[in-house]
Amino acid sequence: MTSTTIPLPHLIGFTERNGNWHAEDLSLADLAKEFGTPLYVYSKRALTEAYQAYDRACVDASGKRRARIHFAMKANSNLAIIDCFKQLGAGFDLVSGGELSRALAIGADPSSLVFAGVGKSADEIAQALKAGVKCINVESIAELHKINQVATRLQCRAPISLRVNPDVDAQTHPYISTGLKDNKFGIAYHEVLKTYREAALLSQIDIVGIDCHIGSQITTTAPYLDAVDKVLDLVAQLKKEGIEIHHLDLGGGLGISYGEESPPDITEFTNTLLNRVAERGFGHLDIVLEPGRSLVGNAGVLLTHVEYLKPGAEKNFCIVDAAMTELMRPALYEAYHAIVPVQSKPVKSVTYDVVGPVCESGDWLGRGRSLAVEEGDLLAILSAGAYGFVMASNYNTRPKPAEIMVDGKNVYLIRQRETVADLFANESTLPKQTHSPLG
Ligand SMILES: *Cc1c(COP(=O)(O)O)cnc(C)c1O
């Protein structure tokens, strides 16, 4: 059995003081006592500082805004989280009609909404057009025609961007190579000009922008610069043909540190991208960035209690009350999350696989972790703010956990724990049979 010695991620808003982990000014142990476990805890300061790190680069020395931040809501769409970002000045990147409804529920300005996604239904397109979103990012020629049809029926204009698959050289940037082979997303680079020409001929379509999104958890700037260059080449070519692009959407995907990674500093990263656009003579474009993970990933932790310690011949298991139903990333991508005891105690460290109670061997949260814990202790699973709660499921009839947000000394319940009754409230049994089924 090997135990990992991966460093902890550098966190804002979550600190260990005298052996006790805190979210801002509140101890995680007290929060678990008050709200129960499993429990998602977010730090308002962490998400605010991440946003401000982007925003610092978006405003130039003279105070002029060079870019806008659209939070990619699929990373964490709790109303309180998206409302915080709205108040900080963010727009939103949406990937479903459901997410559009969330944005409208918090009173987001429709002109700050971009609708992306590879399989938008006609109903979703209609919903977006009626709401008056800034732009629909189109991912195929078939979708372009469907948008035109829906806009014709609604007698409105449809503002669109094409999502370019910039085909950044995978060899030189192995981190994103899987994203490149996957052609489900975006329009192939060599087909983009042709598709814009086709869009320009459609009666209800207004070409407003160009978009790309090259992957997720990317920890170097180089592939972004390659993508920017390739997209700007298209913008220049389109201009020659009389097709004017007004906004440039560079997508999201900047990685965070879960422990080992050292992604670029957000402000530096953003400056590098925006400077490249300006150097190439496109500083006049309205630029949009769509970060998800890098705004919320390290702004949340998942608290869980140790139910049982189960020593074994091959492995020791630390069975906790959270599972793949609360945090699916380990089961789905073998993702690593640091796991720490919330209160350190002088017991012997043992190497455990940290697993949940769900009836699947894939239900694990961390493997080979050296932990000094006893039954009943509390663990914090770090870096759980992005793609955590949003992927939660009710498998094994497990109610989804509560979510809380800490702001200094204050704590707010931002989603109540589901009850088991909630889970089957929409189900019904068949009518009782009053005669024999054979008639
Ligand atoms: C998921 C997604 C994002 C955000 O990605 P992160 O890796 O969370 O930053 C941005 N844009 C689009 C189109 C996406 O699908």
Same domain (yes/no): 171, 287: yes
Please say if the pLDDT value at position 435 is more than 90: no
| 135 has catalytic annotation | no
Identify the residue with better confidence: 427 or 182.
427
Q: Residue 93 C-alpha to ligand 1 middle, in angstroms?
A: 8
Mean pLDDT to the nearest integer, 196-201:
97
Question: Could you report the per-residue pLDDT of 48-86, keeping only the tens digit for each?
Answer: 999 999 999 999 889 999 999 999 999 999 999 999 999
Domain co-membership, 348 together with 246: no
Is residue 339 domain-resident? yes
* Predicted local confidence at residue 5, as pLDDT: 78
Q: Is the CB of 139 under 6 A from ligand 1?
A: no
Residue-number span of the structural domain to which 174 is assigned: 109-291
CA angle 154, 131, 285 (to 5 degrees): 105
The answer to whether the CB of 179 is under 6 A from ligand 1 is no
Q: Which of 213, 218, 249, 390 to mutate for ligand 1's pocket (most ligand atoms within 8 Å of CB)?
A: 213
In the chain, pLDDT over 90 holds for what percent of residues? Answer: 89
What is the Cα–Cα distance from 137 to 147, expressed in whole angstroms? 11
Q: Does residue 287 share a domain with residue 140?
A: yes
In a domain, 54, yes or no: no
pLDDT, mean of residues 404-417: 98
How far apart are the CA of 253 and the centre of ligand 1, in A?
Answer: 5
- Do 285 and 350 sit in the same domain of this protein? no
The yes-or-no verdict on residue 385 having pLDDT over 60 is yes
* Ligand 1 atom at minimal distance to the Cα of residue 163: 13
For the chain, give the longest Cα–Cα distance: 83
Look at residue 87 and tell me if it is in a domain. no
Specify if 88 maps to a domain: no
Query: What's the confidence (pLDDT) of residue 167?
Result: 86
- Residue 418: pLDDT band (50, 70, 90) is very high
Q: H/E/C letters for each residue in the chain?
A: CCCCCCCCCCCCCEEEECCEEEECCEEHHHHHHHHCCCEEEEEHHHHHHHHHHHHHHHECCCCCECEEEEEEHHHCCCHHHHHHHHHHCCEEEECCHHHHHHHHHCCCCHHHEEECCCCCCHHHHHHHHHHCCCEEEECCHHHHHHHHHHHHHHCCCEEEEEEEECCCCCCCCHHHHHHHHCCCCCEEHHHHHHHHHHHHHCCCEEEEEEEECCCCCECCCHHHHHHHHHHHHHHHHHHHCCCCCCEEECCCCECCCCCCCCCCCHHHHHHHHHHHHHHCCCCCCEEEECCCHHHHHHHEEEEEEEEEEECCCCCCEEEECCCCCCCCHHHHHCCCCCEEECECCCCCCEEEEEECCCCCCCCEEEEEEEECCCCCCEEEECCCCCCCHHHCCCHHHCCCCEEEEEECCEEEEEECCCCHHHHCCCCCCCCCCCCCCCC
pLDDT of residue 175: 47
Measure CA 195 to chain center: 29
Ramachandran area for residue 128 (φ above 0: left; ψ -120 to 50: alpha; else beta): alpha
User: Which residue has the least CA distance to atom 10 on ligand 1?
Assistant: 252
Residues 315 and 277 reside in one and the same domain = no
Kindly indicate the confidence band of residue 178, based on its pLDDT and cuts at 50, 70 and 90: very low
pTM: 0.95
> What tens digit of pLDDT does each residue of 338-384 get?
999 999 999 999 999 999 999 998 999 999 999 999 999 999 999 99
Overall number of domains in the chain: 2
Both 189 and 309 in one domain: the answer is no
Which of ligand 1's atoms lies nearest the C-alpha of 217?
7
Judge if the beta carbon of residue 75 lies within 6 A of ligand 1: yes
Please indicate, yes or no, if residue 435 is contained in any of the structural domains.
no
Question: Are residues 286 and 319 both part of a single domain?
Answer: no
Q: Of residues 84, 212, 318, 359, which has the active-site annotation?
A: 359
103 neighbors 111 (Cβ within 8 angstroms): no
Quote the CA–CA distance of 213 and 106 in Å, as a whole number. 26
- The answer for 259, left when phi > 0, alpha when psi is -120 to 50, beta otherwise, is left
Quick one: average pLDDT of 396-409?
98
Q: How do residues 86-113 score in pLDDT, each as one tens digit?
A: 999 999 999 999 999 999 999 999 999 9
* pLDDT, the chain, mean: 94
pLDDT in tens, 27-47: 999 999 999 999 999 999 999
Residues 181 and 279 in one domain: yes
Residue 437 domain-assigned?
no
Are 287 and 301 in the same domain? no
The CATH number linked to 14 is 2.40.37.10
Answer yes or no: is the C-beta of 134 below 6 A from any ligand 1 atom. Answer: no
Residue 385 forms part of a structural domain: yes
**Last residue of one domain, picked from the residues 253, 276, 291:** 291
From CA 20, how far away is CA 27, in angstroms rounded? 7
Same domain assignment for residues 117 and 237: yes
Q: What would the two tokens of residue 160 be?
A: 């669109």
293 pocket-lining for ligand 1 (C-beta < 6 Å): yes
- In-domain check, residue 61: no
* Atom number of ligand 1 nearest to Cα 387: 8
Q: 274, 291, 308: which is the final residue of a domain?
A: 291
User: Which of 258, 291, 324 corresponds to the end of one domain?
Assistant: 291
93 lines ligand 1 (CB under 6 A): yes
Residue 180: per-residue pLDDT: 64
Model pLDDT for residues 137-155, shown as the tens digit of each residue = 999 999 999 999 999 999 9
The per-residue pLDDT for 171 is 45
Q: Is the pLDDT of residue 436 over 80?
A: no
CATH of the domain at 197: 3.20.20.10
Q: Are residues 211 and 267 in the same domain?
A: yes
Whose alpha carbon is nearest atom 3 of ligand 1?
252
Answer yes or no: do 276 and 127 share one domain: yes
